[in-house]
Structure 1
Amino acid sequence: MNFTDRYRRTLWQPTALALALSMGLSGVAMAQSNASGVIFGNAGDAAGATIHVENVNTGQSRDITVDNAGRYRATSLPVGTYTVTLKREGQVIGSRDNVQVRVGSGTDVSFDSSASEAGAKTLGGVTVVGSALPAIDVSSVDSRTTLTAEQLQKLPLARDVTAAALLAPGTVAGDARYGNVASFGGASASENQYYINGYAVTNALTGIGFTSLPYDAIDQQQIYTGGYGAEYGRSTGGVINVVTKRGDNNWKGGVGLHVIPSSLRATPKNIRRTDGQLFQDRSENTSSATQYTGYLSGPVIKDKLFVYAAGDFTRTTGNNISSILAPQFTTEVSKAKKWLAKVDWNITDNHIVEFTGLSDQTRTDRTVYEYSYANEARGNLIGGDKLENAASLAGSAPGGDVYIGKYTGYITDNLTVNALYGTSNSDHKRTLAYAGSPNCPWITDSRTKITSPIIGCGLVNGTVLGPGAKDKTHGWRFDVEYQLGSHDLRAGLDNQTLESSAGNQYEGGYRWRYQNVRNVSGRPDIFPDVPPGTPYFVEQRIFITGASVKVEQEAQFIEDHWQINDRWMGYLGLRNEQFKNINGAGDVYVKQRHQLAPRLGATWDVFGDSSFKVYANAGRYHLAIPSNVAIRGASASLYSSQYFTYNGVGPNGEPLNLVPAGSKIYLNGEDGTDLNPKTVAAQGIKAYYQDEYILGFDKALNSDWSFGAKATMRKLKSSIDDFCDSRPFEKYAARNNIDITNASIPGCYLFNPGVPNTFMVDVDGQGTLVPFKLTMEDFTTPAGVKFPPLKRKYYSMELYLEHHFDERWFARLDYTFSRSYGNSEGQLKSDIGQLDPSVTQDWDAPEIMQYANGPLPNDRTHQLKAYGFFQVNKEWLVGANVAIASGRPKNCIGFDPVDAIQYGASYFECNNQPAPRGSRGRLPWTLKLDLNAQYRPLWAGPGQNLAFSATVFNLFNSQKTTSQVDGGEDPANDYQRPLSFQTPRYLQLGVSYDFSM
């Protein structure tokens, strides 16, 4: 059969199926776990008949009895292709071929009510091609985008999980300073959960990022953007759920090569200050990458035991010229090794065991040289280092080894059991390879209008990873599903423990920052001890943190998918979360129990044929305090500052002839001593949680087209951050006649912002704890500045139009109008790129929160996404991916005229005037067009196993600013300096060969 004939045949097949389904009734379905799917349907008056479900690739099969209402369902099916057969007394009276099961989804395979009669033989002959079953999943109340391996290979996407996630409506790229991560529905980038084959692989320390896997090993990737059921928790952003490929009854393999040459990369824009002064020369900041891939899969025992193994090995080389503040020329060679192995054992058709092992390891070798901006030339060698699983020297990164075991038991037609256990381990290392002086301090020259900045001798001039950094997790899940009449009941346990040993310190032990002596209008000189006429001063900061900490997370959930009648399904779920945070001394400093999260939803199959669905849901979602909080906020740490005048600069950039210009200050009270765990956080602190409401519809126009709309409202109801202000305690003590002369008050407390909090205070420094029940009036400053109520709201309207793949072409168009606004981004503060989830600068004192209400950093009011591919002929395929978005809000963050808390340029104020959040307009709109082409030559053989591909990213080489310096007065000439641009145009070339044995 030629390509055209096959294409024409598909046009009538889905139509025939749709006609058949319109005579049937929809049934209830539910994804039994986050790594499997469901086949469900109605067999008309064939009560007592048998539904035979068989995986065409592995031979696994199940027999389900049709109930008295004519319904059936087969749960916890591994994703893949199935044949569904209706039998009565051994006789086949109807069948469906090529039924696609998708992760977390229900696939409706219903039979005509006359299927029990001999006349149904014609219907039984209908063949479903690909996934042409009903486009509308009437069994789900959530919001998700599911991408198959076929789509991932045919769309022009970077070969990583985040690139695919950004196709989903309501997702935006997180701040570039957080790496390659996404923000979902206005939430900060640390509020997501990532799963591989049912096990959470989210960064154990900060929640930013995840352990990855070989790209070609992805079978399906599911992106939940809201409305997910009670089985999911620990997320107020989104969920990315990856199911890997597995072996089947055919031995096959493949190899591939993907190259990104630096010669075909566009030159990145230089960074300039608004006055035109060059800040960073990026003309040589380019890289090249070569990736080798391979896989092998097949049966060890046919129909019983299967293996699948895949690997990615990527070598990336690049250069980087740093800014004029610390000019250095760095060369990097990075080697990333990812592998995955999966074993599936069908002990019997009713008992299945799976084992997955995967590894994600990256090693980077760096060499650092001096660089002269005046001569535009590289200078002498400074040194070098080696990084392992460390994305930057600012802290640890995801990666490591993960092992997962899972059991699925189909005990009876109505009872299914799932059990899962997993572990992960990741070491993060930095080793000095060679250096002239390994103890060089971090030098920053922030003086304005200077032509020769002071340059240090450090390798990176920054905060470096402390020794012994590592993360490890272990967790287990157990759930049971039972169908009782029209109720599909499910209950389960979900526990995970996260452990991290982490810490940071300044390279060389301390940091020098050279600054201008200046007066700020409306207040005295900020450094009154500096002699008159002194133009500059220097600040010394010492910063050392490090501890081994733990977070224990437990949850129980129960849910019911209730088929109320033939067209209405109700969903009721309840999740109960418990969180326990443990500091470096092994003490519990926060314990939260009975965090109840109800989930409610309903779907209406309007016409009863799965062609038009109206759905609604409401739910509450909790998030634990991340591990990193205990590193600094609940364990011993040292953070000090002292100012000096100086006369001369040494060869390593250090100041000479120092004269103190003030005493040493311990910032936030971090003086290196252990903290009393009972005084770290507010008593009875509420968990971080969010409420969400969704109303939407999906409508099939015909067998090829569908469209829909969805309205979403999210409201952050409770947050956890730290505040670092002693004045409320002083006010409370004065009002209640409590002597706190010798009190031991931590520099910062964890609390629930915007509401009254109770703290335990060591009033005599000897461990005598007294509760301080601080009201909102206590939090009010002497000048009358109050803490505002917590606010983070997100609302959106999403519209989509989709053409389903018909073996010729696939396309989807999404438009999202959204607003994300309030006075808190959440766990992060993208305004300044702060990397301390839940202990940001926000809420440190009431003054910081003045004028903080407005559009938040992840707000993109308008987004248009379009993507798809077209099979031109047997040999050629082309694809496109377009993303258009309005810009990020701009701020002006500067000095407060009083600066009672001495935070410097940290307020939403500029030039002694209020500068409310987002009041400085928007960054420019961004446009990104990616195109790809694939060529599978016929001369390579009947299977067309040889493929050549080319993908161009950012075809028009648009390099709009995506983030900027919001600090408007420190120093003033840095205000609105770009921090990041769109990635310049680059080309990826690939070749792959698949073979069967």
Structure 2
Amino acid sequence: MGLALILMVGAQAWAQGRQYGNLRGTAKDATDSILPGVTIEVTSEALQGTRTTVTDLNGNYQIVGLPPGQYSASFALQNFATVDRQFNVEVGRDTAVNVAMPVGGVREAVDVLGAVPTPLTETEISQNITGDRVDTLPMARDLFSIAELAPGLTANTVTDGQIAINGSFGYDNIYLIDGVDINDNLLGTANDLFIEDAIDETQILTSGISAEYGRFSGGVVNAITKSGGNRFSGSFRASLFKPDWTARTPFEIENDNDRTGTLADNTTYETTVGGPIVRDRLWFFYANRRQRESADDTLPVSGASFVRSVENDRNLIKLTGSIAPGHTLEGSYLRNMTNQVRPSIPSAIDPATLTSPEIPNDLWVATYRGAVNSSLFIEGRVSRREFGSRNQGGTLTAAKESPFLSVFQGTGLDLFNAPAFDSNDPEDRNNRQVTASATYFLPTELGTHSIKGGFEHFQSTRTTGGSQSATSFIFIAPYAENPDGSPLLDADGRFVPLFGAPAPFFPIRLEYFPVLGASIDINTLSFYVNDSWAVNDHVSVNLGVRAEKITSDATDSLVGLDTSAAVPRLSLGDGRFTFQTTYSHYVGKYSESQFARNTIVGIAPELEQEYIGPPGQGRNFAPGFDDANYETVGADFPTQNVFFEDGLKSPRTKEFTVSGGAALGTRGYAKVTYINRRASDFVEDFVTLDGGSTTVTGNDGEEFGTFSNLNFRNTDALERNYDGLEFQGRFQATNAFLIDGSYTVQINNDGNFEGEARSAGAISSNAFDYPEVTPANRYYPTGRLKNFQRH
């Protein structure tokens, strides 16, 4: 269950994170008396047809579900002069347009396009960035780069492509395209299910986020794509690159490796086109992106040269139709196909580790929005995202074709001899999402209520046996070196593995028993309701509840999850000078990297075996590949010696904020916010003397030995604490000149729980692995976390 309570003195705050904007306001006469019954009609090139409503008994009105863009509105009432207004609507925000209507007289028109929609009255901390603004800035145009412009956010994370918001885990944010979650299931990075020139506007929410959204402890990156219009329009962009435009590194010069490649082999083209099929009834939008990259690259340690290449094709088609005034159907499909030539892992040092993976990525979305009447707005959406990985690893099955890892040479994780992973075990990371909501506008003598309720069913699916090698083996062993320290190659130009070397170089063999095609579904069913109550012109209250039920189902009918989660907020403010405070709980995502830990999905059962045979070297040294020369010293069989406590849940983050700000006339604002976050309920594995042990057996009943149990449970014995200050400001000096910026200071970003690792997503620590001999001050001391960045 979740509870959100907001008390705010000032303008009303509606639910955020939407894929549209809202219009609201109050109509009064020249004596400041309210005017019920005023008819408001809005038009825009972004809108199919028109939308109308009337003011209620308190003189208030709202129009929900307006596509972002420039709008005109007329306010009409018998015996009063008609008033015209022009304004902008932004994604995820409310635009307030209040009018004072003179009696009779001449029609009044006011252009307020230059006025900045101020976030002073909004309880969340957010940043809106349009595609046009991105085009004017010297920056990359993907969602990760756009998000970096927001306050409270850093890219100083353990995995490339992640963002950390207010000290949160880098894997624990939500990326949305047209309302659909496009996160990678494990890493929390955004799938490239967009074409940069097709992004219309992006909103980044970092604090005080509505209970309408869950499954994160960081923030929300909410982007929408273009939809076409009543006029044909389009764009074409060519990005050209030549490898020798970049200077060679000293390592490339030392190994006499040139950078070759032509402009024709290193280009990216983007095309967009949109327009009407039937004016005001049916629009189309199409976008295409074609990327080709091919250039010489150099492997670390060995200095071997290879040609790294990328072929990426993306196509987007989107249709938007008006089935009746105020009722819209929208459907889109995006196909993203990538083919690469690259090393199996970044620390690969041997040309034999190169792979040619194929990465298919698809997104289907269908959305309905409708204004049933002036008081009721409803919305529904269904979607499916698919992400796959094919030909990711090796194909040869002879033991001597196994991957070798050297952990005491070169990079510290040198991969040689063969690719890691198994091309016979393709991986899929998919999701399905169904959402529905209704917003009801209810005027009463005690104020006006905007009540929004809805549900979301989100299913995250991962399919893979977690095979680490096509041979079922990985050897941890060093390679032979020349006197100058470079790798020694045999007569076939292959690396020479060493067997029986003195400690710490003695070989370890990891043997895996994957179940190819193993799968897990993690299901999150959420319900929420928010009542935004405008008591009067100065006071509003927002009361909300969110309930989540999380379950999982995996191959072999394993059940690992059965739990639930929560949210609260409070805000205060007054007049031109606004003061606010919010209090929120965020419950993080249920990632397969953590909550499939007691299954065989992505985690193949594993034996750790120590080499006890004679010393030798080379790929043809038979004793090094003989089963009789290995002794089992460890095992990890997730379905036998890994256990979840009942009610195991994702970590929780509690957030408290205080904000103060002021409007700079009608063209800008300045705002400062203090953010305090404290995380708890960390997911930890406990390996203790009283945790027991299990005799691990194979499918044929063979006993491999007795090994300690891993018991996963939540703990508050560890900590992650964040305190920060965020400064935001914007000023529209002229219609053509905008000053917009933010500045963040991390006062404190400390703790003793990292909870994530490079390219791994959520993980546990070693804090409670044999705690009898691992004291806290030595094995998990408190200090600055890895994503600390003062400014």
> Same fold judged by TM-score > 0.5?
yes
The 5 A counterparts of 1:459-858 are 460=419, 462-463=420-421, 467-485=425-443, 486-502=448-464, 503-506=466-469, 508-514=471-477, 536-543=505-512, 545=514, 547-593=518-564, 595=565, 597-607=566-576, 612-629=577-594, 631-635=596-600, 637-644=604-611, 646-651=614-619, 656=624, 663-667=631-635, 669-670=636-637, 674-675=639-640, 680-723=643-686, 725-730=687-692, 747-754=709-716, 789-804=717-732, 806-818=734-746, 819-826=748-755, 828-829=756-757, 833=758, 835-839=760-764, 841=766, 843-846=768-771, 847=774, 849=776, 850-858=779-787
- Residue aligned with 1:506, SS: coil
Matched, 1:137 2:119: yes
Matched, 1:309 2:286: yes
Describe the superposition over 1:939-958 as per-residue Cα deviations: whole angstroms up to 9, x where unpaired. xxxxxxxxxxxxxxxxxxxx
Conserved? CA contact 2:116–2:667, under 8 Å: no
Match of 1:147 among 129, 133, 136: 129
User: How far apart are the structure 2 equivalents of 1:163 and 1:83?
Assistant: 33
Matched with 2:224 is 243
User: How far apart are the structure 2 equivalents of 1:652 and 1:455?
Assistant: 18
Describe the superposition over 1:203-237 as per-residue Cα deviations: whole angstroms up to 9, x where unpaired. 23453433420001101111111211011100001
Matched with 2:381 is 420
Residues 448 and 54 of structure 1, relative CA distance in 2, 3 Å threshold: closer
Could you tell me how far 1:606 is from its partner in structure 2?
1.7
Conserved? CA contact 1:351–1:410, under 8 Å: yes
Conserved? CA contact 1:31–1:76, under 8 Å: no
Could you tell me how far 1:26 is from its partner in structure 2?
7.2
Conserved? CA contact 2:767–2:780, under 8 Å: no
Conserved? CA contact 1:46–1:70, under 8 Å: yes
User: How far apart are the structure 1 equivalents of 2:269 and 2:723?
Assistant: 43
User: How far apart are the structure 1 equivalents of 2:589 and 2:353?
Assistant: 40
User: How far apart are the structure 2 equivalents of 1:727 and 1:473?
Assistant: 39
Matched, 1:118 2:104: yes
Could you tell me how far 1:133 is from its partner in structure 2?
2.8
Conserved? CA contact 1:592–1:687, under 8 Å: no
Conserved? CA contact 2:393–2:423, under 8 Å: no
- Residue aligned with 2:197, SS: helix
Return the letter of the residue paired with 2:507: V
Residues 155 and 445 of structure 1, relative CA distance in 2, 3 Å threshold: same
User: How far apart are the structure 2 equivalents of 1:598 and 1:239?
Assistant: 15
User: How far apart are the structure 2 equivalents of 1:300 and 1:664?
Assistant: 68
Conserved? CA contact 1:682–1:751, under 8 Å: yes
Matched with 1:442 is 403
User: How far apart are the structure 1 equivalents of 2:710 and 2:127?
Assistant: 41
Conserved? CA contact 1:32–1:481, under 8 Å: no
Could you tell me how far 1:197 is from its partner in structure 2?
0.8
User: How far apart are the structure 2 equivalents of 1:285 and 1:442?
Assistant: 30
Conserved? CA contact 1:26–1:110, under 8 Å: no
Return the letter of the residue paired with 2:332: T
User: How far apart are the structure 2 equivalents of 1:363 and 1:406?
Assistant: 31
What's the RMSD between the two structures over aligned residues? 3.7
Could you tell me how far 1:57 is from its partner in structure 2?
4.2
Could you tell me how far 1:317 is from its partner in structure 2?
2.0
User: How far apart are the structure 2 equivalents of 1:845 and 1:454?
Assistant: 29
User: How far apart are the structure 1 equivalents of 2:624 and 2:222?
Assistant: 56
The answer for unaligned runs of 5 or more in structure 1 is: 1-24, 273-277, 374-378, 390-398, 517-529, 732-740, 755-788, 864-997
Conserved? CA contact 2:15–2:210, under 8 Å: no
Could you tell me how far 1:803 is from its partner in structure 2?
2.9
Conserved? CA contact 1:798–1:817, under 8 Å: yes
User: How far apart are the structure 1 equivalents of 2:399 and 2:116?
Assistant: 64
Matched, 1:60 2:21: no
The answer for unaligned runs of 5 or more in structure 2 is: 1-8, 29-33, 480-498, 694-702
Could you tell me how far 1:403 is from its partner in structure 2?
1.0
Describe the superposition over 1:94-145 as per-residue Cα deviations: whole angstroms up to 9, x where unpaired. 1112x21111101111112xx1423574xx322233xx23442354211111
Match of 1:229 among 203, 210, 214: 210
Matched with 1:72 is 61
Identical aligned pairs, as a percentage? Answer: 20
Could you tell me how far 1:852 is from its partner in structure 2?
2.8
Could you tell me how far 1:313 is from its partner in structure 2?
1.2
Could you tell me how far 1:420 is from its partner in structure 2?
0.9
Could you tell me how far 1:798 is from its partner in structure 2?
1.1
Return the letter of the residue paired with 1:401: D
Aligned residues: 730
Describe the superposition over 1:170-207 as per-residue Cα deviations: whole angstroms up to 9, x where unpaired. 2111546x332212111122101111111112123453
User: How far apart are the structure 2 equivalents of 1:623 and 1:638?
Assistant: 27
Describe the superposition over 1:241-281 as per-residue Cα deviations: whole angstroms up to 9, x where unpaired. 11111111001222221123323334457599xxxxx9x99
Match of 1:338 among 310, 314, 326: 314
User: How far apart are the structure 2 equivalents of 1:71 and 1:845?
Assistant: 63
Could you tell me how far 1:82 is from its partner in structure 2?
1.3
Could you tell me how far 1:685 is from its partner in structure 2?
2.3
User: How far apart are the structure 1 equivalents of 2:730 and 2:414?
Assistant: 57
Match of 2:336 among 360, 363, 369: 360
Matched with 2:166 is 185
User: How far apart are the structure 2 equivalents of 1:412 and 1:714?
Assistant: 41
Highest RCO, 1 vs 2 (Cα 8 Å, sep ≥ 6): 2
TM-score of the superposed pair, with normalisation by structure 1 = 0.67
Could you tell me how far 1:166 is from its partner in structure 2?
0.9
Describe the superposition over 1:529-588 as per-residue Cα deviations: whole angstroms up to 9, x where unpaired. x99987852222234545211101110011121213212333222211111122222332
TM-score of the superposed pair, with normalisation by structure 2 = 0.84
Could you tell me how far 1:619 is from its partner in structure 2?
0.9
Return the letter of the residue paired with 2:138: P
